[in-house]
C-alpha cells in the first residue's frame, strides 16, 4: 500500500509504498522478568503462533514538522498501551530519512524503540541509493538499537525507474546485502501483494519473486492492503503452495475518509470493490459516516480472516490516526490494556539495555529523559543499584528535543499554568488543580506539569486527599508513592511483574518547598530518625541528608516464584544530585520561558527556582501507616506556632 512517506517494493522491480510495522506489545516489547530478554521479533511471533495468541501491529509514517513529531510520539505511547506486537516506520526518500532530523524515519524509529519501548521495524528502500549509503544506514540503525528492517525496492523519484549504479534494483538484492553485511543481526520483513504487484508481469511471477526474497533471508511478509478477505486467503494458499512457509501478515486499512481512500488507491493502483464504492459515494462528504462504515467493513473482514484459522496476526495501516484502528481492535477483542507492568517504570527496547532492572525513582514520571541521560552507559544495573559503580549521567541541556518536550502547545500550557502569575500562591494553585483534576480559576483543567506530562497515575490517586492538603500550603509534590505491604503482583493499581508474586513499597514523597519550610522540616525530622530518610538540596548545591554513607535505599521490590528478590526502584543520594539539576531546570525551561523576560510571571518562577529546596522523604517502616503526612503536618504546626512556643514545641 502507498502511504504518505512510505515505500514498499517488489523484488521484480515493481514498486509500491506501504508501511509495515515492527512493534512489540507493551506486554511483549518490554522485558518481562521471567522471559528471555534477548528475544527477537521472529521468536515472539513463533511463540504467539504456537500458543494460538493472536496479535496486531501498526504502521506509522514520519511527520513533516517538529510539532507533528511530538504528537506522533505521544500517539506511540497511547497506542502502545493496547498491546501491539510491533510497529513499523516507513521510509520517505524526500524527507532525508536516514538523518538525525526529528522528522526522519531513522529518528522516529529510534525514538519508538529507545524512548517508547516499542519493538519497531524500520523501512529501508534501495532506490536511488548506493550500496555504500545503504550499508551506512544499516550500521546506524544497528547502533541506535533497531533490530528489524522492512526491505523494499521503493518508488522511483521520477515517472520511470532508473537503475542505480553501484546500488540495488530489486528488494531481493537488498535482503541479500543485509544478510551478507550484517549476518543474522536484523530480522527482515518483505512486502507481498495479494492481487499481484501492479508492475509485475503476472501474478505467478510476482509470487516467485516473493519466494526469492524469503529464500534470500526474509523472515516474514506483510501484505499490501486489500478490501476482501478472500483476496488474502487465496494469496496465502498460493504462497504456501510454492513453498513460502514463513508468517504472512495481512495489511489492513480501515477506510477513514473519502479523499484519503482515493489518494491511496491511486498510489497503490488498487481497485475498490463495487459494493464498497456503492456505499461510500453517497456519503463521501460525511467523514464521520465514512469512518463508521470503514470500521464496520474492516471488523467484518478481519473476523473472516481470524475465523479462517490461518491468520495469526493483523497489520494495520493507521495513516498516523488512532480512532478507527483502536475501535476496530476493540471490537475484535485484540485491544488489551494490561495494567500490570513488567517493571514499575517504562522500559526501553534497546537491546543494550536488556539486563536493566533497577533505576532511581526520581525519573519515574520522566522515563524518556532518564533514557536520554544514560544512553552512553556501557552497562546497566541488574539486580541492585550501586552508586560506586554507576557512571555519570549525561547533561540535560537539550530540553527542546522532540521526545523530551511537552506534548501540549505553548498556548495550552499558558491556559493550564496561567497566562499571568500573581504570586507564589498562583503556582500552589496550579499544583493543587493538577492533583485534584479540578479546573483552574479560568476553567481549564490542568493535565500536566513540567515534571509529569501525563494525568495522575492511578497509584497517585490513592494519595490524592493528602497531596491536595500539602500542595495548597506550598509543598509542591512532583513524585510520590504509597506504602504497600505484599499486594498481589496482579493488582491493577500497584501490581507489576509476572503473576503469582507479591509487591512491596516504602512510602515516598518528593517536593519543592520554601527555605522557611525546610528550616522547620529539619527540626521536625529529628524526632523521626532513623525511620525517615531525607535528602534536601537547593539549586546552588546546598546539600542536607541523613542517608548513611550515601547508600541506595530500595523503595520498591517484588517477590516472585522461583526468583530472587527484584528491587526495581531506589532512592540513591548520588544520582539525586544529577536529578536535581534537571528538576530545577524544568522550572525555567518549561515554565518560566512561557513568559517574557523580566515579566512578573517569569520573575515568580525564577524566585522559586532560585530559593526553593527539592526534598525527598522515605518512610522505611512500610508495614506501618505512612508517617510522612504526619511529618509535614508537624512542620506546618511548628510554622504556625507562636515564636515563644517554637523552641518548646519539640
- CATH code of the domain covering residue 136: 3.20.20.220
Tell which wins on pLDDT, 649 or 189: 189
Residue 591 · residue 417 · CB < 8 Å: yes
Same structural domain for residues 328 and 363? no
* Cα radius of gyration rounded to whole Å, the chain: 27
Determine if the peptide bond prior to 530 is cis (ω within 30°). Answer: yes
pLDDT of amino acid 29: 37
User: Please, which residues bridge with residue 508 across strands?
Assistant: 481, 618
- Pick from 141-145, 240-244, 287-291: least confident: 287-291
Residue 27 inside a domain? The answer is no
- Pick from 156-170, 261-275, 461-475, 487-501: least confident: 156-170
- What values do phi and psi take at 174, rounded to 5? -65, -40
| Separation of alpha carbons 249 and 313, rounded Å | 6
Query: Rounded mean pLDDT of 330-337?
Result: 94
Tell which wins on pLDDT, 648 or 14: 648
pLDDT of amino acid 645: 62
Q: How many CB atoms lie within 10 A of CB 77?
A: 19
Same structural domain for residues 327 and 419? no
Residue 19 has pLDDT above 90, yes or no: no
The model's confidence at residue 601, banded by pLDDT at 50, 70 and 90, is very high
Residue 318 has pLDDT above 60, yes or no: yes
Residue 176 inside a domain? The answer is yes
Query: If DSSP codes are grouped into helix, strand and coil, which group holds residue 66?
Result: helix
- Residue-range definition of the domain harbouring residue 440: 359-648
pLDDT in tens, 547-594: 877 889 999 999 999 999 999 999 999 999 999 999 999 999 999 999
Number of helical H runs and strand E runs in the chain: 21, 20
Cell 537547593 belongs to 538
Q: Provide the CB-side half-sphere exposure for 571 (13 A, CA).
A: 26
How does strand 613-619 pair with strand 532-538?
antiparallel
Residue 106 inside a domain? The answer is yes
Residue 224 inside a domain? The answer is yes
Same structural domain for residues 373 and 324? no
How does strand 484-488 pair with strand 553-559?
unpaired
Same structural domain for residues 210 and 311? yes
At which of 332, 367, 393 does a domain end? 332
Cell of 234: 487465496
User: Please, which residues bridge with residue 60 across strands?
Assistant: 89
Same structural domain for residues 302 and 376? no
At which of 315, 332, 349 does a domain end? 332
Residue 18 inside a domain? The answer is no
Residue 27 has pLDDT above 60, yes or no: no
* Overall number of domains in the chain: 2
Cell of 145: 538499537
pLDDT of amino acid 26: 31
pLDDT of amino acid 17: 33
Query: Rounded mean pLDDT of 617-622?
Result: 98
Same structural domain for residues 489 and 619? yes
- Pick from 161-170, 406-415, 436-445, 465-474: least confident: 161-170
Residue 468 has pLDDT above 80, yes or no: yes
* CA separation, residue 603 to residues 475, 513, 540 (Å): 20, 17, 18
Would you tell me the crossing angle of helices 105-114 and 66-80 to the nearest 10 degrees?
Answer: 40
Nearest C-alpha neighbor of 36 from the set 421, 355, 332, 345 = 355
Same structural domain for residues 95 and 185? yes
Residue 637 has pLDDT above 50, yes or no: yes
Whole-number average pLDDT of the chain: 89
The model's confidence at residue 156, banded by pLDDT at 50, 70 and 90, is low
Residue 612 has pLDDT above 90, yes or no: yes
Query: In which order are the strands placed within the sheet that holds 507-513?
Result: 476-481, 507-513, 613-619, 532-538, 543-545
The model's confidence at residue 7, banded by pLDDT at 50, 70 and 90, is very low
Would you tell me the crossing angle of helices 171-182 and 203-216 to the nearest 10 degrees?
Answer: 10
Same structural domain for residues 366 and 318? no
At which of 283, 314, 332 does a domain end? 332
Same structural domain for residues 327 and 363? no
The model's confidence at residue 525, banded by pLDDT at 50, 70 and 90, is very high
- Pick from 273-277, 419-423, 468-472, 526-530: least confident: 273-277
The model's confidence at residue 60, banded by pLDDT at 50, 70 and 90, is very high
427-436 contacts, C-beta under 8 A, 24 or more apart: 427/476, 427/604, 427/605, 427/608, 428/471, 428/472, 428/473, 428/474, 428/476, 431/471, 431/476, 431/477, 432/468, 432/471, 432/472, 435/464, 435/467, 435/468, 435/471, 435/477, 436/464, 436/468
- Pick from 3-12, 72-81, 403-412, 603-612: least confident: 3-12
Same structural domain for residues 483 and 382? yes
> So which residues are the catalytic ones?
59
User: Please, which residues bridge with residue 504 across strands?
Assistant: 485, 557
Residue 277 has pLDDT above 90, yes or no: no
Same structural domain for residues 308 and 385? no
Residue 13 inside a domain? The answer is no
Same structural domain for residues 268 and 368? no
Instruction: Output the furthest CA–CA distance in the chain (Å, rounded).
Output: 97
DSSP annotation of 182 reads H
Residue 370 has pLDDT above 50, yes or no: yes
Residue 606 inside a domain? The answer is yes
Query: If DSSP codes are grouped into helix, strand and coil, which group holds residue 215?
Result: helix
- Pick from 35-44, 315-324, 342-351: least confident: 35-44
Residue 91 inside a domain? The answer is yes
Amino acid at each position: 500500500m502507498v502511504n504518505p512517506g512510505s515505500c514498499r517494493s517488489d523484488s521484480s522491480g515493481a514498486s509500491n509504498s506501504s508501511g509495515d510495522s515492527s512493534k512489540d506489545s507493551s506486554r511483549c516489547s518490554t522485558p518481562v522478568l521471567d522471559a528471555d530478554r534477548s528475544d527477537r521479533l521472529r521468536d515472539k511471533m513463533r511463540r504467539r503462533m504456537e500458543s494460538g495468541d493472536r496479535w496486531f501491529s501498526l504502521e506509522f509514517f514520519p511527520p513533516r514538522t517538529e510539532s507533528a513529531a511530538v504528537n506522533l510520539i505521544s500517539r506511540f505511547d497511547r497506542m502502545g498501551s493496547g498491546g501491539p506486537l510491533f510497529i513499523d516506520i516507513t521510509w520517505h526518500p524526500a524527507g532525508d530519512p536516514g538523518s538525525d532530523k526529528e522528522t526522519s524515519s531513522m529518528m522516529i524509529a529510534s525514538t519508538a524503540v529507545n524512548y517508547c519501548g516499542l519493538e519497531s521495524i524500520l523501512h529501508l528502500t534501495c532506490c536511488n541509493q548506493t550500496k555504500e549509503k545503504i550499508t551506512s544506514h544499516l550500521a546506524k540503525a544497528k547502533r541506535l538499537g533497531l533490530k528489524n528492517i522492512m526491505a523494499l525496492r521503493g518508488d522511483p523519484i521520477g515517472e520511470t525507474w532508473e537503475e542505480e549504479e553501484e546500488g540495488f534494483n530489486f528488494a531481493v538484492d537488498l535482503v541479500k546485502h543485509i544478510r551478507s553485511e550484517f549476518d543474522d543481526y536484523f530480522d527482515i520483513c518483505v512486502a507481498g501483494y495479494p492481487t499481484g504487484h501492479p508492475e509485475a508481469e503476472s501474478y505467478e511471477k510476482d509470487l516467485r519473486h516473493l519466494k526469492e526474497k524469503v529464500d534470500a533471508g526474509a523472515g516474514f511478509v506483510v501484505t499490501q492492503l486489500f478490501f476482501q478477505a478472500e483476496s488474502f486467503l487465496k494469496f496465502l494458499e498460493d504462497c504456501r503452495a510454492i513453498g513460502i512457509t514463513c508468517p504472512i501478515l495481512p495489511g489492513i486499512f480501515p477506510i477513514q475518509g473519502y479523499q484519503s481512500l482515493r489518494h491511496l488507491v491511486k498510489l497503490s493502483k488498487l481497485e475498490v470493490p463495487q459494493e464498497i464504492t456503492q456505499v461510500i459515494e453517497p456519503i463521501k462528504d460525511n467523514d464521520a459516516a465514512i469512518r463508521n462504515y470503514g470500521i464496520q467493513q474492516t471488523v467484518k473482514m478481519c473476523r473472516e480472516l481470524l475465523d479462517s484459522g490461518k491468520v495469526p496476526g493483523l497489520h494495520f495501516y493507521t495513516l498516523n490516526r488512532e480512532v478507527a484502528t483502536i475501535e476496530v481492535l476493540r471490537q475484535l477483542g485484540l485491544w488489551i490494556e494490561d495494567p500490570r507492568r513488567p517493571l514499575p517504570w517504562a522500559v526501553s527496547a534497546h537491546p543494550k539495555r536488556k539486563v536493566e532492572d533497577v533505576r532511581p525513582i526520581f525519573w519515574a514520571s520522566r522515563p524518556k529523559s532518564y533514557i536520554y541521560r544514560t544512553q552512553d552507559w556501557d552497562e546497566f544495573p541488574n539486580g541492585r543499584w550501586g552508586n560506586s559503580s554507576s557512571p555519570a549521567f549525561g547533561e540535560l541541556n537539550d530540553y527542546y528535543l522532540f521526545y523530551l518536550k511537552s506534548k501540549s502547545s505553548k498556548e495550552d500550557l499558558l491556559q493550564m499554568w496561567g497566562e499571568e502569575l500573581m504570586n507564589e500562591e498562583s503556582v500552589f494553585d496550579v499544583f493543587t488543580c493538577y492533583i485534584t483534576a479540578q479546573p483552574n480559576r479560568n476553567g481549564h483543567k490542568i493535565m500536566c506539569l513540567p515534571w509529569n506530562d501525563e494525568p495522575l497515575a492511578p497509584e497517585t490517586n490513592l494519595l490524592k486527599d493528602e497531596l491536595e492538603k500539602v500542595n495548597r500550603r506550598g509543598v509542591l509534590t512532583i513524585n510520590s508513592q504509597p506504602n504497600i505491604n505484599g499486594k498481589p503482583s496482579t493488582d491493577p493499581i500497584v501490581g507489576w511483574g509476572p503473576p503469582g508474586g507479591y509487591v512491596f513499597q516504602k512510602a515516598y514523597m518528593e517536593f519543592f518547598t520554601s527555605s522557611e519550610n525546610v528550616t522547620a522540616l529539619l527540626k521536625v525530622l529529628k524526632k523521626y530518625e532513623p525511620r525517615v530518610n531525607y535528602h534536601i538540596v537547593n539549586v546552588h548545591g546546598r546539600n542536607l541528608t541523613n542517608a548513611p554513607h550515601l547508600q541506595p535505599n530500595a523503595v520498591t521490590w517484588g517477590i516472585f516464584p522461583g526468583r530472587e528478590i527484584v528491587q526495581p526502584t531506589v532512592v540513591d543520594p548520588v544520582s539525586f544530585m544529577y536529578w536535581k539539576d534537571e528538576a530545577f531546570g524544568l522550572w525555567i525551561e518549561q515554565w518560566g520561558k512561557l513568559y517574557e523576560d523580566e515579566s512578573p510571571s517569569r520573575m515568580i518562577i525564577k524566585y522559586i527556582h532560585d530559593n526553593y529546596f527539592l526534598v525527598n522523604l522515605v518512610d522505611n517502616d512500610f508495614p506501618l501507616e505512612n508517617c510522612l503526612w504526619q511529618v509535614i503536618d508537624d512542620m506546618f504546626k511548628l510554622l504556625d506556632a507562636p515564636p515563644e512556643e517554637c523552641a518548646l514545641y519539640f
